[in-house]
Structure 1
C-alpha cells in the first residue's frame, strides 16, 4: 500500500510542467513585444506623422504588458500548485528525505548485514531492490520540482524588472502622444461645431440617451466619403484593451440594465477609434465622465463614455485606429503584489470601465454584433 502511494506521488511530481512552459513562452513573447515597442518609440521621434506612430507605440506597449502579466499569472499559478503539493505531502516528503539521508550516511558494509543472518539479509536485499528504484525516482522528481520552483521565481523577478521598465516607457509614450496631438494643426474653424450651440444642446438633455437621440436627428452634411460602415459588422476591434464586464441589456449589481457593453480596462489605457468616423460630440456629460460620440455613417452612432483625457474635438474626422483619448485613473504602480493578485484571474487591475453603445437609426443595438471577440487582460 505504501509502495502504491509512493508511485502515485511520483507520478504527480513527475508530471511535465506544462504551466511553466506556457509561462516561459508567454513571458518571452511579451519581452519581444516590449522590445519592439521600445524601438517603435525611438522611431516615432522622426516619423512624419508622430501622432499615428505614437498611437501604435502605446498600443504595442499595452499589448506587450498584457502578455507579460499573463505570463506572470501563469507562473504564479504554477508556483502555488507546486507549493500546495509540497504542503499536502510534507510529512511523507520529510520521511523520504530522512530515508535518503540515512541511506547516504550508512557505511556500505552495514547495509548488507541483518540480525536474522543470511536469510534476513537476502530478504531485506529483495525489499530494498524493489523500493530503491521508486525512492530514487521520487527523489529525482522532487529535485526537478525544486528546480522548477527556483526557475519560476527567477522568471518572476526578471518579469517584474521588465514590467517596471515597460510601465515607465509606456507612460513616456502617452505623454509624447498627448503633446504631439496638442501640437498638431487642427482643422479649419468653420468645420468645428459652434461651441455656443453645443452648450445649449448639453443644457437641453438630461441623459446620455437624450444626447444621442438629438444627435441622431441632427445630421450635418459633410463632404467626406467614409468607408462603408454597415459592411464592417462583426470585424471591428475593441476601442480599448480589457475584458467584457457586462453585456448588452445585462443587469449590474444594482439591477440596472443598459443598452450597451461595459468593458473593464486598466487606468490610463489608450482608447482608439474602431472605424473612420466624424466626431459628433466630445466632452463631459453629467456623471458619465468624458463622452465621445462617433458617426461612422449616416444613421449610425457609436457612443464611448467614461474616458479621462480626450484627444479629439467635435467636428473632426478620425481614421480607424486613431487615438481618441485615455481612460482615467492614476499611473500604474505594479510591484511584487502583482504576482499574488494575478493568480486571482485575468481581471486583476481592471479598475476603469468604458461604456460602449451602438445606435442604428436612433435605436440602441447590441454592439457585440459589430466587434470581434473582446480581448481579456
Structure 2
C-alpha cells in the first residue's frame, strides 16, 4: 500500500478529534511533495523558468522538511505507545482474561449464582456496572494497537515518497543552474572589471575594506537607482529555510564573534534574494568562502556567505526571490533520513549561512532588518 493510500485509510478510520496527528502531518507532506512534482513538470513551459524552478525547489524543501518532521513525530508516538503498552502488560493480560471468560461462558451459567436468585440479581447488577468499563478499556487498547500498526506501516511506506522527493529536488536544482546560465533578460547597473576585482580582493584584509571598495570593480560609472526597502525593515524574510544558530555578537562554533547572524540550513538548501537588489559581488572572499553581496538600496548591503554555488553576475538587478546560490553538503540518503527522523534536535541542519548587514559601510544587527522568528 502506498503512503498516500495508507494515510487516507487511516484518516477515514480515525475520529475527527484525532486527525491532527503524525499520520496527518505525513499525509500533508506527501501532498506537498506531489504538488512540487507537478510544478517541476510545468516549469519547462513557464515564461519565467527561473522563478518557476525556484518555487519548485522551495516547495520540495518544504515538503521534505514536513515529511521528516512527520516521520519524527510518528517514531516518537510509536515509541511512546509501545512503552505504554509494555508498562500495561499485566493489566492488559487481566483484561483479556476477563473478556475471554465472559465470552466463552454459556449465558445460562452466567445467570446462576450459588446464593440463589438474589445473588444472581446482585451479580447481574455488578456485571452491568463493570461491563461498560471493560468495554471502554478494550476499545482503547484496540485503538492503541491499531495506531502502533499504522505508524509502523507509515514509516515503512515513507521510503518511496522520500526517494521521489529527493530525486525531484535534485532534478530541479540541475534545471535551475541551466536556466540561470541561459538567462539574458536582467537589467544591469554596471559591468564588472575582473582585473580591478582581483586587485581589490588581494589588497583587502577585511569585509569592511572590501565593501568600501566595491565601487572600484566596475567598468565606468555605476548607474544610480531609487530603490528603497526601508518600509520593510524588520519584516524581510530570511534568504533560506533554516534555524537561527547565533545572533549578532555571539561566539560561533569556531570561537569567533561576528556582527552578523548564523543560520543553520540543510545541505543543498537554496538561497534567494529577499528583496529586489543589485548583485555587487559574488565569489570567494577572505575566510568567508563563497559569498554574495546584494544592494537592495543605496548604502545598504546584504552579505550572504558560506555558499557552495553562487548564481548571477555583478551588476545585474535581480527581482525579489531570485536564487543567488546553493548551500554546500551532500543530500542524505534515504536510510540516513529515516534513521534520524526521530532526532528532532536540528542536527540535520548541518550547513551554516552567515548573514551580515552593512549600512553606510558599518555593520548593523541583521535582526533589525530580517524576520528571525519564523521556523524554517
Q: TM-score range by the shorter chain?
A: 0.7 to 0.9
Partner of residue 251, structure 2: 251
Partner of residue 53, structure 2: 54
Partner of residue 165, structure 1: 164
Distance 1:218 1:365, change over 3 A: farther
Distance 1:106 1:286, change over 3 A: farther
Structure 2 unaligned regions, length at least 5? 1-13
Partner of residue 235, structure 2: 235
Partner of residue 341, structure 1: 340
Partner of residue 23, structure 1: 22
Q: CA deviation at 1:182?
A: 2.0
Partners of 2:152 and 2:363 in 1: CA distance: 49
* Secondary structure in structure 2 of the residue aligned to 1:191: coil
Is the Cα–Cα contact under 8 Å of residues 305 and 356 in structure 1 kept in the other structure?
Answer: yes
Q: CA deviation at 1:208?
A: 3.5
Is the Cα–Cα contact under 8 Å of residues 190 and 222 in structure 2 kept in the other structure?
Answer: no
TM-score (norm 1): 0.85
Partners of 1:184 and 1:257 in 2: CA distance: 38
Partner of residue 176, structure 1: 175
1:208-357 superposed matches below 5 A: 208-215=207-214, 221-223=221-223, 225=225, 227-252=227-252, 255-335=255-335, 338-339=337-338, 341-345=340-344, 347-357=346-356
Distance 1:338 1:89, change over 3 A: farther
Partners of 1:254 and 1:179 in 2: CA distance: 35
Q: CA deviation at 1:344?
A: 2.8
Distance 1:97 1:353, change over 3 A: same
Structure 1 unaligned regions, length at least 5? 1-14
Q: Deviations for 1:238-277, whole angstroms, at most 9, x for unmatched residues? A: 1101111112222335653221111111111111001111
TM-score (norm 2): 0.85
Distance 1:17 1:160, change over 3 A: farther
* Larger deviation, residues 148-157 vs 47-56: 148-157
Partners of 1:309 and 1:293 in 2: CA distance: 14
Distance 1:21 1:288, change over 3 A: same
* Larger deviation, residues 217-226 vs 178-187: 217-226
Partner of residue 138, structure 2: 139
* Secondary structure in structure 1 of the residue aligned to 2:320: coil
Q: CA RMSD in A?
A: 3.0
Distance 1:48 1:200, change over 3 A: same
Is the Cα–Cα contact under 8 Å of residues 263 and 356 in structure 1 kept in the other structure?
Answer: yes
Is the Cα–Cα contact under 8 Å of residues 309 and 325 in structure 2 kept in the other structure?
Answer: yes
Is the Cα–Cα contact under 8 Å of residues 242 and 266 in structure 1 kept in the other structure?
Answer: yes
Partner of residue 12, structure 1: none
Q: CA deviation at 1:85?
A: 1.8
Partners of 2:188 and 2:322 in 1: CA distance: 21
Is the Cα–Cα contact under 8 Å of residues 289 and 305 in structure 1 kept in the other structure?
Answer: yes
Partners of 1:291 and 1:66 in 2: CA distance: 25
